[in-house]
Amino acid sequence: MRMILVGPPGAGKGTQAARLVERYSITHISSGDMLRAAAKEGTALGVQAGGFMKLGKLVPDEVVIGMILERIKKPDCAKGFMLDGFPRTRPQAEALDAAMVAAGVALDAVVLIEVPDPLLEERAVGRRSDPVTGAIYHLKYNPPPAEIVDRLVHRPDDTAEAVNTRVQKYHSETSPIIPFYLDKGILKRVDGVGDPDAITQRIIAVLETGP
């Protein structure tokens, strides 16, 4: 299974990514983690990327795409992969698609988790993370055990204002990739409202039985 996971900030991509990676025994490729790992490894593309990152600049799309192609050829991606965090714009989607076609790699699906904007804000503002285990909780929807509440962290970008800014950026920059993958016939829309287990089942259903 080779897929891309897409959705607005607060849609629950992190939760669903972990479950899907386990179910399909595929590798989760976060673009940010990949860039940092390649820079640390000192690969040719990693050195290029590291130079831009040290200057606080965005890594050019062609470098990121080259690194993605390099990454998905590694043995741990033999059974498939989930790409998370890239592409974020339509030009990136088009360039990635062209590069993957040239490399003989075909995507099976682009999973889009859809959640209304007002709910995205509520989810983010109530979100807390455990710095010890990495687990993510929500004060309303997934309350943490009482004994760990005091150590939980509220991310500074999980305020209503910050979330709204990120959501608007998603709509203006990332949403245009949706019609691109729809035209290619691989977009899978999933209702992201409700219990995480139910959402997981919806994703599995569209992946294994069609839209």
Q: Which two tokens stand for residue 172?
A: 């203006």
Q: Which of 23, 73, 74, 155 is catalytic?
A: 155
Maximum Cα interatomic distance, the chain, rounded to a whole number of Å: 53
Whether residue 40 lies in the annotated active site: no
- Which uninterrupted H or E stretch holds 178? helix 177-183
Whether residue 2 lies in the annotated active site: no
Identify the CA nearest to 130 among candidates 146, 154, 162: 154
Q: Which of 13, 71, 188, 202 is catalytic?
A: 13
Alpha carbons 127 and 136: distance in angstroms, whole number: 7
Whether residue 151 lies in the annotated active site: no
Tally of helices (H runs) and strands (E runs) in the chain: 9, 7
CB-based burial label for 147 (10 Å; 0-12, 13-18, 19+): exposed
Alpha carbons 4 and 53: distance in angstroms, whole number: 24
Pairing of strands 187-191, 109-114: parallel
Whether residue 155 lies in the annotated active site: yes
Q: Which of 127, 128, 188, 202 is catalytic?
A: 127
Q: Which of 19, 88, 90, 189 is catalytic?
A: 88
Q: Which of 19, 36, 90, 166 is catalytic?
A: 166
**DSSP for 129-140?**
E-TTT--EEETT
Order of all β-strands in the sheet with 27-30 = 27-30, 81-84, 2-6, 109-114, 187-191
User: Which residues carry out catalysis?
Assistant: 13, 88, 127, 155, 166
